[in-house]
């Protein structure tokens, strides 16, 4: 095999990745609305130059555009008018974000006592909180019920028994939804609608477990069944998967009314709405998703001859994901020869899988840009990797960066708002980075960087 000519990356990069005409340019769909570069190639977010911003907090650092976050929250609130829109706190939650969610009129989903505590600290009223999880402890359930959270999404027969027992003991009523498995699995551009029930979440519709769960909840004194809950996957770009799931869930909804005599007032279609991580992704606006989902529900309800339940959805990634980027400092650069004579430039940065596990865990794709200067060098195929002792410690698998990328440069990775800080770890005893909120030229640290004292505080020697 002959050598690959310079600039010819056939077979060494994904088919969707194209060599850019201008390696300094941003792809707007991947970045917060305020992101731009000046004539010197310096990245600005929220009116602040990124090099100046990180000079105060060091790198790596998560940069969160507050107005972009709020705008995306409003887009779902307004696009899904008539729905209850729950922000999925698992994507990223801190006190400030909980406060923003409340101020923008959204509800909030939590799935642990810690997330519940942060939500309350951020001023979210308990009745506007939904509580998820497949193994909520009795302590967690008791606290949620006594506080009066708006809904508990039950996920097992044991949990139904626990809720009923706590209600009987405390005399405090509980409102629940039954999470069902509709046999639909949707991820990115594909969905499969056949028997994807080998998972830990939900009661199977096909097996009859979901109907039995509804029957047991209805029979429990002091426990109100609000409706059925369905979640089909993540990174979903169209409504095809929702259509199949809604048909099956609404059929169960109708059966419960017919055979158990209870018309459930609500139904939750879950979340999983996709965002653009790279140029291959093309997410739909919230209003367009809403129109498609509303049409599906209206059509199915008419076909079944039932009234439409009040609907709710749970966007998390779609709100916070694009609103945040992560900034790193380049430490080393290494050129590696590949098969056929092609080359890849390995760019090592001062973070990695401890601040973004998604590439290693899910084989996720990300983009990046040189954030601290402009470059006239031709683009090279690069892989941005972390500093941890794992060969799979990759931040960005494939991207074109300037050929003169060098130690000390800043690299920014967009789309890291969802599950970056939330899934961050202390692997290799790394200190988890700060989250810096920016707006109108002002920066505020909303989650500080961990310190060595934090790290040692739990190590009792």
- pLDDT number for residue 195: 42
Class of residue 395 by CB neighbours under 10 A (exposed 0-12, middle 13-18, buried 19+)? buried
What's the CA gap between 294 and 80, in Å, rounded? 9
Q: How many helices (H) and strands (E) does the chain have?
A: 12, 24
Residue 22's contacts (CB-CB under 8 Å, 6 or more residues apart) are none
What's the CA gap between 14 and 258, in Å, rounded? 52
**What are the helix (H) ranges across 95-239?**
95-103, 113-121, 138-147, 157-170, 209-219
Checking 18-25 for CB contacts under 8 A at 24+ apart, the result is 18/279, 19/379, 19/400, 20/379, 20/400, 23/370, 23/375, 23/377, 23/378, 23/379, 23/400, 23/401, 23/402, 24/369, 24/370, 24/374, 24/375, 24/402
- pLDDT number for residue 6: 47
CB 153 within 8 A of CB 86: no
Instruction: Specify the pairing of strand 410-414 against strand 324-337.
Output: antiparallel
Name the DSSP class of 4: P
CB 418 within 8 A of CB 317: yes
What's the CA gap between 30 and 324, in Å, rounded? 10
The encoded tokens of residue 95 equal 């006190």
In order of 141, 183, 310, the CA distances from 148 in angstroms are 11, 32, 20
Q: What angle do CA 444, 447, 451 make, to 5 degrees?
A: 115
Q: Is the dihedral of CA 249, 253, 254, 255 positive or negative?
A: positive
Helix (H, G, I), strand (E, B) or coil at 5: coil
What's the CA gap between 422 and 116, in Å, rounded? 14
Closest listed residue to residue 222, CA positions, set 144, 145, 110, 128 = 145
> How high is the mean pLDDT in each 10-residue block of the chain (461 residues)?
45 82 96 97 98 96 98 97 97 98 98 98 98 96 98 97 98 97 70 57 92 98 97 83 88 97 96 93 93 93 94 97 98 90 92 97 95 97 96 96 98 98 97 98 98 96 90
Beta bridge partners of 174: 223
Q: What angle do CA 220, 134, 193 make, to 5 degrees?
A: 100
Instruction: Provide the residue count of the chain.
Output: 461
- pLDDT number for residue 242: 83
Catalytic residue list contains 301: no
The encoded tokens of residue 312 equal 């709710």
Mean pLDDT for the chain overall: 93
Which phi and psi (to 5°) does residue 70 adopt? -65, -40
What's the CA gap between 370 and 43, in Å, rounded? 8
| pLDDT per position as a tens digit, 119-149 | 999 999 999 999 999 999 999 999 999 999 9
What's the CA gap between 47 and 203, in Å, rounded? 48
**What are the helix (H) ranges across 267-357?**
286-304, 317-320
- pLDDT number for residue 189: 52
- pLDDT number for residue 158: 97
| pLDDT per position as a tens digit, 84-131 | 999 999 999 999 999 999 999 999 999 999 999 999 999 999 999 999
Q: Which of 94, 111, 368, 389 is catalytic?
A: 389
């Amino acid at each position: 095999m002959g050598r690959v000519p310079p600039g010819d990356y056939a077979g060494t990069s994904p088919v969707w990745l194209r060599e850019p005409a201008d390696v300094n340019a941003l792809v707007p769909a991947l970045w917060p609305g305020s992101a731009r570069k000046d004539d010197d190639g310096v990245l600005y977010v929220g009116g602040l130059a990124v090099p100046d911003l990180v000079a105060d907090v060091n790198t790596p650092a998560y940069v969160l555009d507050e107005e972009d976050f709020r705008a995306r929250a409003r887009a779902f609130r307004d696009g899904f008018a008539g729905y209850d829109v729950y922000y999925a706190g698992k994507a990223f939650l801190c006190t400030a974000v909980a406060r923003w969610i409340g101020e923008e009129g959204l509800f909030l989903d939590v799935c642990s006592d810690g997330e519940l505590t942060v939500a309350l600290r951020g001023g979210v009223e308990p009745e506007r909180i939904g509580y998820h999880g497949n193994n909520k402890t009795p302590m967690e359930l008791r606290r949620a019920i006594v506080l009066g959270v708006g809904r508990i999404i039950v996920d097992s027969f044991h949990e139904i028994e626990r809720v009923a027992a706590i209600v009987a003991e405390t005399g405090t009523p509980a409102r629940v939804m039954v999470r069902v498995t509709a046999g639909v699995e949707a991820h990115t551009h594909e969905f499969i609608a056949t028997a994807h029930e080998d998972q830990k979440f939900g009661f199977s519709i096909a097996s009859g477990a979901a109907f039995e769960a509804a029957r047991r909840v209805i029979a429990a004194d002091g426990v109100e069944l609000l409706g059925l809950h369905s979640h089909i996957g993540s990174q979903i770009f169209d409504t095809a998967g929702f259509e199949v799931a809604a048909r099956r869930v609404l059929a169960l909804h109708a059966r419960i009314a017919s055979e158990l005599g209870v018309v459930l007032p609500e139904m939750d279609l879950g979340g999983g709405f996709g965002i653009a991580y790279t140029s291959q992704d093309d997410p739909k606006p919230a209003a367009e998703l809403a129109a498609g989902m509303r049409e599906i529900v209206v059509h199915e309800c008419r076909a079944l001859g039932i009234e439409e339940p009040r609907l709710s959805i749970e966007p998390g990634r779609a709100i916070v994901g694009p609103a945040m980027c992560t900034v790193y400092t380049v430490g080393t650069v290494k050129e590696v020869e590949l098969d056929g004579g092609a080359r890849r430039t390995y760019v090592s940065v001062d973070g990695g899988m401890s601040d973004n596990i998604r590439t290693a865990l899910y084989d996720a794709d990300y983009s990046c840009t040189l954030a601290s200067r402009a470059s006239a060098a031709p683009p090279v195929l690069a892989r941005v990797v972390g500093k941890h002792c794992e060969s799979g410690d990759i931040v960005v698998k494939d991207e074109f960066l300037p050929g003169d990328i060098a130690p000390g440069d800043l690299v920014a990775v967009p789309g890291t708002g969802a599950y970056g800080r939330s899934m961050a770890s202390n692997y290799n005893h790394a200190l988890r980075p700060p989250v810096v909120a920016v707006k109108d030229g002002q920066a505020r640290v909303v989650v500080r960087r961990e310190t060595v004292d934090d790290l040692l505080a739990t190590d009792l020697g």
